[in-house]
Amino acid sequence: MLNLPPLSLYIHIPWCVQKCPYCDFNSHALKGEVPHEEYVQHLLADLEQDLPLTAGRTVQTIFIGGGTPSLLSSEAMSQLLDGVRARLPLAPDAEITMEANPGTVEADRFSAYQRAGVNRISIGVQSFSPEKLTRLGRIHGPQEAKRAAHLAADLGLRSFNLDLMHGLPDQSIEQALDDLRQAIALNPPHLSWYQLTIEPNTLFASRPPVLPDDDALWDIFEQGDKLLTAAGYQQYETSAYAKAGYRCEHNLNYWRFGDYLGIGCGAHGKLTQADGRIIRSAKTRHPRGFMAGNYLDKQHEVANSDKPFEFFMNRFRLLEAAPRVEFSRYTGLDESVIRAPLDEALQQGYLTETPETWQVTEKGKLFLNSLLELFLAE
């Protein structure tokens, strides 16, 4: 019998005011009004269909992402979280995060979200430069971003995050660092600092902008990392920094190969069963199909040969050491099945090993894809 991993819940709200040119998430520009109550009813019906796969486990974290979840009315949010609590045991100290666009942040609504149970907000700032925000298709300006951060701080939430991007079209090192300084000045407990990448099937993919070259990107990262460290932030994942005690528990569960239910348009789930099977599912992407009651799009069982790669693909994104016992505990496989690739990784200098842990080295971080390829199924 496996020692089942912790369980999280991801809820997807698919609508946006407008689609950003870099975004490859499952989001749809809003035509008319959000069908608040109707969508919540479908989310809860979707959740009910998945309940048999959860083995009655307690949910440790909830993440409401999108799209723009802050387009959902506070009444609908209350109905949603009450509905979740009625169907699933929720840890008393569960972290409940909601993504918000600074252009849709209003004080009254946010205190109502908080009353509904939201205790952490992730604010999609991306940049403090008006020109860069326009270029990224964002609907907010720098002042709205700052106002949203002050509002989150004043609410006395458990935590809040600012999402910031670097490596933007025609962005100089100084502009990238200026964005970072303005974010640090707002004193968020958590900062996600991503490099913009051009994803297939986006507007930027069809008309690529000029992005900083690799040398400039490395300079931005090195200098930015120093700024963040000096301000008391610690990097704990490829693009996440937090002050002590403020890491995002939900994301940590993903990277530690924990389990998660995914409900809503296009949401993904990973659920380990008592017999050791790992079930992955994806929900119907388009709101039209989802709201016709066709929730499940695809479901498959992860083959034993794929489990090592999936485990390490997540685990090695974290900078913390990986406890060796968790490999067998969360995959149901004996460590002997990965001995050969582990030895190769050690020999290449990608990893160090102790009786308790594996730790990715500086070289391993630089050549992460080469490290992970060692664990791919033949």
Write down the pLDDT at residue 378. Answer: 78
Write down the pLDDT at residue 1. Answer: 44
Tell me how far CA of residue 350 lies from CA of 223, 342, 347, 369, 371, in angstroms: 24, 9, 8, 11, 6
CATH 1.10.3720.10 fits 305-378, yes or no: no
Beta bridge partners of 235: 241
- Rounded to whole angstroms, how far apart are CA atoms 160 and 238? 19
CB 284 within 8 A of CB 296: yes
One fold for both 7-253 and 305-378? Answer: no
Q: What predicted TM-score, i.e. pTM, was given to this entire model?
A: 0.96
CB 21 within 8 A of CB 136: yes
If the chain, 378 residues long, is cut into consecutive pieces of 10 residues, what is the mean pLDDT of each piece? 86 93 90 93 98 95 95 96 98 97 84 96 97 94 95 95 97 98 98 95 92 95 97 96 98 97 98 95 97 98 97 96 96 96 98 98 94 93
Minimal CA–CA distance to 267: which of 69, 112, 20, 17? 69
Write down the pLDDT at residue 2. Answer: 59
Which two three-digit tokens encode residue 240?
């996440």
Q: Is the dihedral of CA 146, 138, 282, 302 positive or negative?
A: negative
CATH 3.40.50.10800 fits 7-253, yes or no: no
Residue extents of the structural domains in the chain: 7-253, 305-378
